[in-house]
Amino acid sequence: MQKKLISLAIAVALTSTTSAFAAAKSFTDVPANSWSYSVINWSTQQAIAKGYPNGTFKPDKTVSEEEFLSMLIRAYGDVPDTTNPPYWSSKYYTKAKSLNYPVSTQRTAVITRTKVAEIVAGTQGKNYSGTNAIKYMLANGLASGKSGSTVAGYQGSDSLTRAEAVAFIKRVIDNRASDELLPRPSKPSSEEGLGLVPEGNAPSGFNKDVLVISDGAKPDATLVKRGNAVSKALAGTGLTTLVNVEQNALGIKDPKTGNVIFVFADNSYKDAAYGVVIKYDYLVDTGAKDMRADYVSAMTKAMKALGIDGGTTFTKTLDAADYDGKSRTFTAGGKTYHINPVNAGQGVISE
């Protein structure tokens, strides 16, 4: 039986589906080879989004605030209907306002990515606005950015399409701080931990090339040891070791693009109920439409440094899973690990 997974890395099963929500494979405008096929399928199976009566999903249609808010709240579990509501989304706004989320009065207006960041940060129990909300999303794996994992790359003034919205929400669910919607504080949250500590200013014990995110908490000896081991393994690759002290996790960042391609968490040394969870992303070379050998190699080196030496068996299994989108398993150190692809070059690995 697989161990309990921490909220950092994998989606929790939500409400059961209903007949009103069709699978993506039935949508005439969502072909099986579309980047959004699997995430749209997920959203309809979880009763988060649904298609139109004519059998389409309209993945490129822009999303209004009420549409995004309703999908986001449904991802945590729908709320009861209200009697004679003034508009269909009333119950979602009532819920959002009760939790102090920064919703506007323009419910039908197209929502911006910055407003999305502000609302999502609220659901995680944080009060951030504007750039700080975007920084929080990036620092906590709730978004990877549109053209890069930077504030500029997030492109906060842009709108969201329906396909982008459900992909956004799935990422939030995969990385959420709690299985429940958290109330947004009345006062702005601390700005500590929103950015990376500059190279050379890492906390005592870390190699000087390790970049660290911290809310003021001090890393324990295990996290320091892991961070330094990965840093050593990545020497000469041009990639950077990233450590998030708040989440007790570490990763690999490409400083040229700002993309975080690998995130590792294993708190089993603190609580046996937890197991290894790895998230990988950006492993596809968009030009060659194939796995990036340099990223896969770096990830494999990091895993080996962390005690998961799957060798060529792992890389072949990862490639096969990415090719057909089907889950695979591999063994390392006497343990079985599950590879669950999400999109091309993106997925979750867990015990």
Say what the pLDDT of residue 96 is. Answer: 95
Q: What is the mean pLDDT of residues 43-70?
A: 92
Q: Is residue 139's pLDDT more than 90?
A: no
162 and 232: one domain? Answer: no
Q: What is the count of structural domains for the chain?
A: 2
Percent of the chain with pLDDT over 90: 47
Does residue 201 have a pLDDT over 90?
no
CA angle 157, 140, 37 (to 5 degrees): 65
Region 127-152: mean pLDDT is 82
Which of 31, 116, 28 lies closest to 71 in space, CA to CA?
A: 116
Q: Which residue has the higher pLDDT, 10 or 108?
A: 108
Quick one: tokens of 216?
A: 């003021």
Q: Do 284 and 167 lie in a common domain? A: no
Provide the residue range defining the domain that includes 44: 24-175
Shared domain check, 170 and 30:
yes
186 in any annotated domain:
no
Q: Are 242 and 253 in contact (CB under 8 A)?
A: yes
Residues 215, 168, single domain; the answer is no
Confidence of residue 288 (pLDDT cuts 50, 70, 90): low
Of 236, 258, 233, 260, give the one whose Cα is nearest residue 249: 260
- On average, the pLDDT of the chain sits at 83
Tell me which H or E stretch contains 74. helix 65-76
Q: Does the pLDDT at position 73 exceed 80?
A: yes
CA–CA distance, 174 with 70 (Å, rounded to integer): 18
Q: pLDDT confidence of 342, banded at 50, 70, 90? A: confident
- The Cα–Cα gap between 271 and 135 comes to 30
Crossing angle (nearest 10°) for helices 162-175 and 113-123: 30
Domain check: are 135 and 225 in the same one? no
Q: Is 1 inside any structural domain?
A: no
Which of these three, 125, 151, 175, is where a domain ends? 175
118 and 246 together in one domain = no
Question: Residue 182 domain-assigned?
Answer: no
Q: Do 103 and 91 form a contact (C-beta atoms < 8 A)?
A: no
Residue 210: the pLDDT is 84
* pLDDT digits 0-9 by tens, 13-30: 222 233 334 444 578 898
Report which of 193, 187, 223, 189 is spatially closest to residue 206, judged by C-alpha positions. Answer: 223
Q: Domain ends where: 149, 175, 201? A: 175
Between the CA of residue 176 and those of 26, 120, 148, 247, 292, what are the distances in Å?
29, 9, 21, 11, 28
Q: What is the pLDDT of residues 211-249, one digit of tens each?
A: 877 656 678 899 999 999 999 999 999 998 988 887 788
Average pLDDT over residues 85-101: 94
Mean pLDDT, residues 66-83 taken together: 92
The structure tokens listed for 326 are: 């089907």
* Pair (79, 150) in one structural domain: yes
Q: What is the pLDDT of residues 157-177, one digit of tens each?
A: 999 999 999 998 998 998 888
Residues 6+ apart with CB under 8 A from 168: 116, 143, 160
User: CB-hemisphere CA count at 13 Å for 267?
Assistant: 16
**Do 143 and 247 lie in a common domain?**
no
Residue 7 lies in a domain: no
- Specify the DSSP class assigned to residue 159: B
* Mean pLDDT of the 182-201 span: 69
Residue 200 lies in a domain: no
pLDDT tens digits along 113-122: 999 999 999 9
Say yes or no: 123 and 169 in one domain. yes
Say how far apart CA 308 and CA 330 lie, in whole Å: 10
Query: Does residue 310 surpass a pLDDT of 70?
Result: yes
* Residues 225 and 131 reside in one and the same domain: no
Question: Is residue 140 domain-shared with residue 243, that is, in the same domain?
Answer: no
Residue 190 forms part of a structural domain: no
Confidence of residue 325 (pLDDT cuts 50, 70, 90): confident
Nearest to 199 by CA among 191, 207, 189: 207
pLDDT for residue 148: 65
Tell whether 247 and 328 lie within a shared domain: yes
Final residue before a domain boundary, out of 159, 175, 191: 175
In a domain, 201, yes or no: no
Give 206's strand partners. none
Q: Is residue 308 part of a domain?
A: yes
The model's confidence at residue 275, banded by pLDDT at 50, 70 and 90, is confident
Secondary structure element (H or E) that encloses residue 328, with its range:
strand 328-332
Give the pLDDT confidence score for residue 215 in this predicted structure: 58
The answer to whether the beta carbons of residues 315 and 300 sit under 8 Å apart is: yes
- Structure tokens that stand for 138 in this block: 């990036």
Task: Identify the H or E element spanning 350.
Answer: strand 346-350
By C-alpha distance, which of 322, 320, 250 is closest to 284?
A: 322
SS3 13: coil
